[in-house]
Protein backbone atom coordinates (compact mmCIF):
# COMPACT_ATOMS: atom_id res chain seq x y z
CA UNK A 1 0.00 0.00 0.00
CA UNK A 2 1.31 3.48 -0.88
CA UNK A 3 1.35 6.19 1.79
CA UNK A 4 -0.64 9.27 0.99
CA UNK A 5 -1.23 12.82 2.04
CA UNK A 6 -4.81 13.37 3.17
CA UNK A 7 -5.57 16.70 4.87
CA UNK A 8 -7.41 16.44 8.17
CA UNK A 9 -9.61 19.00 9.87
CA UNK A 10 -7.83 21.23 12.39
CA UNK A 11 -10.05 19.87 15.15
CA UNK A 12 -8.77 16.28 14.90
CA UNK A 13 -6.39 15.57 17.81
CA UNK A 14 -3.27 13.65 16.90
CA UNK A 15 0.03 12.59 18.46
CA UNK A 16 3.37 14.19 17.63
CA UNK A 17 4.39 12.99 14.17
CA UNK A 18 7.18 10.49 13.58
CA UNK A 19 10.10 12.11 11.67
CA UNK A 20 11.82 9.79 9.18
CA UNK A 21 14.26 10.18 6.31
CA UNK A 22 12.65 10.70 2.92
CA UNK A 23 12.53 7.62 0.69
CA UNK A 24 11.78 7.28 -3.04
CA UNK A 25 8.40 5.75 -2.14
CA UNK A 26 7.38 9.05 -0.48
CA UNK A 27 7.41 11.05 -3.73
CA UNK A 28 3.70 10.93 -4.59
CA UNK A 29 2.60 11.85 -1.06
CA UNK A 30 5.19 14.66 -0.92
CA UNK A 31 3.98 16.12 -4.22
CA UNK A 32 0.37 16.01 -2.99
CA UNK A 33 1.27 17.75 0.29
CA UNK A 34 3.28 20.45 -1.53
CA UNK A 35 0.45 21.02 -4.01
CA UNK A 36 -2.01 21.34 -1.12
CA UNK A 37 0.25 23.66 0.87
CA UNK A 38 1.51 25.96 -1.89
CA UNK A 39 -0.69 25.44 -4.94
CA UNK A 40 0.54 25.87 -8.49
CA UNK A 41 2.10 29.26 -7.63
CA UNK A 42 5.02 27.47 -6.00
CA UNK A 43 6.54 26.79 -9.41
CA UNK A 44 7.14 30.48 -10.19
CA UNK A 45 9.09 31.32 -7.03
CA UNK A 46 12.83 31.96 -6.91
CA UNK A 47 13.20 29.01 -4.53
CA UNK A 48 11.95 26.73 -7.29
CA UNK A 49 14.64 28.14 -9.63
CA UNK A 50 17.22 27.08 -7.02
CA UNK A 51 15.76 23.58 -6.85
CA UNK A 52 15.97 23.34 -10.65
CA UNK A 53 19.77 23.77 -10.59
CA UNK A 54 20.71 22.27 -7.22
CA UNK A 55 20.79 18.54 -6.53
CA UNK A 56 18.21 17.33 -4.03
CA UNK A 57 19.84 15.71 -1.02
CA UNK A 58 17.31 13.05 -0.06
CA UNK A 59 19.77 11.91 2.61
CA UNK A 60 19.19 15.32 4.27
CA UNK A 61 15.43 15.49 3.60
CA UNK A 62 12.75 14.29 6.02
CA UNK A 63 9.06 13.45 6.28
CA UNK A 64 6.71 13.69 9.26
CA UNK A 65 4.22 10.85 9.53
CA UNK A 66 1.13 10.13 11.58
CA UNK A 67 0.81 6.41 10.95
CA UNK A 68 0.62 5.99 7.17
CA UNK A 69 -0.38 9.64 6.61
CA UNK A 70 2.24 12.19 5.53
CA UNK A 71 1.75 15.41 7.54
CA UNK A 72 4.98 17.25 6.82
CA UNK A 73 8.08 17.39 4.66
CA UNK A 74 11.34 19.30 4.53
CA UNK A 75 13.68 18.95 1.59
CA UNK A 76 17.25 20.16 1.21
CA UNK A 77 19.46 20.77 -1.80
CA UNK A 78 23.17 21.41 -2.07
CA UNK A 79 24.17 24.82 -3.44
CA UNK A 80 27.14 27.16 -3.61
CA UNK A 81 27.32 30.90 -2.99
CA UNK A 82 30.58 32.69 -3.72
CA UNK A 83 32.49 29.41 -3.69
CA UNK A 84 31.05 28.30 -0.33
CA UNK A 85 29.13 25.01 -0.30
CA UNK A 86 25.97 25.11 1.75
CA UNK A 87 22.49 23.68 1.99
CA UNK A 88 19.30 25.26 0.67
CA UNK A 89 16.37 24.27 2.88
CA UNK A 90 12.99 24.04 1.26
CA UNK A 91 10.33 23.39 0.60
CA UNK A 92 8.98 22.97 4.11
CA UNK A 93 5.30 22.07 4.26
CA UNK A 94 3.20 20.90 7.18
CA UNK A 95 -0.47 19.97 7.18
CA UNK A 96 -2.47 22.48 9.24
CA UNK A 97 -3.54 19.85 11.78
CA UNK A 98 0.11 19.01 12.60
CA UNK A 99 1.39 22.59 12.84
CA UNK A 100 0.26 23.10 16.41
CA UNK A 101 2.26 20.01 17.38
CA UNK A 102 5.51 21.73 16.35
CA UNK A 103 6.08 19.48 13.33
CA UNK A 104 7.54 22.30 11.22
CA UNK A 105 10.10 23.31 13.83
CA UNK A 106 11.01 19.67 14.46
CA UNK A 107 11.50 19.04 10.74
CA UNK A 108 13.78 22.09 10.44
CA UNK A 109 15.80 21.09 13.50
CA UNK A 110 16.27 17.51 12.26
CA UNK A 111 17.22 18.77 8.78
CA UNK A 112 19.77 21.25 10.14
CA UNK A 113 21.29 18.59 12.41
CA UNK A 114 21.61 16.24 9.41
CA UNK A 115 23.26 19.00 7.34
CA UNK A 116 25.75 19.67 10.15
CA UNK A 117 26.50 15.94 10.50
CA UNK A 118 27.14 15.81 6.72
CA UNK A 119 29.79 18.53 7.10
CA UNK A 120 27.85 21.62 6.07
CA UNK A 121 28.23 24.74 8.18
CA UNK A 122 25.40 26.89 6.79
CA UNK A 123 21.79 26.53 5.69
CA UNK A 124 20.07 29.12 3.47
CA UNK A 125 16.34 29.44 2.88
CA UNK A 126 13.55 31.77 1.83
CA UNK A 127 10.95 31.91 4.57
CA UNK A 128 8.99 33.65 7.29
CA UNK A 129 11.41 35.64 9.52
CA UNK A 130 9.39 35.28 12.77
CA UNK A 131 9.12 31.49 12.44
CA UNK A 132 12.65 30.81 11.22
CA UNK A 133 14.20 33.51 13.41
CA UNK A 134 13.28 31.58 16.52
CA UNK A 135 15.09 28.59 14.99
CA UNK A 136 18.34 30.55 14.59
CA UNK A 137 18.00 31.94 11.06
CA UNK A 138 18.83 35.56 10.21
CA UNK A 139 18.73 37.84 7.16
CA UNK A 140 21.80 39.76 8.32
CA UNK A 141 24.45 37.61 6.57
CA UNK A 142 22.51 37.30 3.28
CA UNK A 143 22.54 40.86 1.92
CA UNK A 144 25.09 39.91 -0.76
CA UNK A 145 23.28 36.78 -1.98
CA UNK A 146 21.82 36.88 -5.48
CA UNK A 147 18.92 34.50 -5.98
CA UNK A 148 17.83 33.30 -9.45
CA UNK A 149 14.70 35.42 -9.25
CA UNK A 150 13.17 38.17 -7.12
CA UNK A 151 13.07 37.59 -3.36
CA UNK A 152 12.14 39.89 -0.50
CA UNK A 153 15.58 40.34 1.16
CA UNK A 154 13.98 40.13 4.62
CA UNK A 155 12.91 36.56 3.79
CA UNK A 156 16.33 35.32 2.61
CA UNK A 157 17.67 33.75 5.80
CA UNK A 158 20.82 31.93 6.90
CA UNK A 159 21.63 29.72 9.85
CA UNK A 160 25.19 28.95 10.83
CA UNK A 161 25.38 25.39 12.08
CA UNK A 162 28.67 25.54 13.95
CA UNK A 163 29.62 27.87 16.75
CA UNK A 164 33.18 28.17 15.43
CA UNK A 165 32.16 30.14 12.32
CA UNK A 166 30.01 32.84 13.90
CA UNK A 167 32.38 35.53 12.67
CA UNK A 168 32.46 34.16 9.12
CA UNK A 169 32.01 36.78 6.42
CA UNK A 170 28.52 37.32 5.01
CA UNK A 171 27.65 35.37 1.91
CA UNK A 172 28.45 37.13 -1.37
CA UNK A 173 27.48 36.00 -4.84
CA UNK A 174 24.92 34.17 -6.89
CA UNK A 175 23.28 30.94 -5.82
CA UNK A 176 24.63 28.23 -8.11
CA UNK A 177 24.90 24.47 -8.33
CA UNK A 178 27.76 23.16 -6.16
CATH code that applies to domain 18-176: 3.40.630.30
| Contacts made by residues 165-172, CB under 8 angstroms, sequence distance 24+ | 165/121, 165/122, 168/121, 168/122, 168/141, 170/140, 170/141, 170/142, 170/143, 170/144, 171/81, 171/82, 171/84, 171/86, 171/122, 171/124, 171/141, 171/142, 171/144, 171/145, 172/81, 172/82, 172/144, 172/145
**pLDDT number for residue 60:** 98
pLDDT of the chain along its 178 residues, tens only? 455 555 554 445 556 899 999 999 999 999 999 999 888 777 778 888 999 999 999 999 999 999 999 999 999 999 999 999 999 999 999 998 888 889 999 999 999 999 999 999 999 999 999 999 999 999 999 999 999 999 999 999 999 998 655 557 789 999 999 9
The whole-number pLDDT of residue 1 equals 44
For residue 103, the surrounding DSSP H or E stretch is helix 103-117
Amino acid sequence: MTAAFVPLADSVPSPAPDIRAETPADGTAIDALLDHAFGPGRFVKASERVREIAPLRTDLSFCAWEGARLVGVVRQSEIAVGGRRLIFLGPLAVDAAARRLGAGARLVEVACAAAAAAGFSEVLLVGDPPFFGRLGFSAEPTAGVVMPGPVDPRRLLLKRLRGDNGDQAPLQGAVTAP
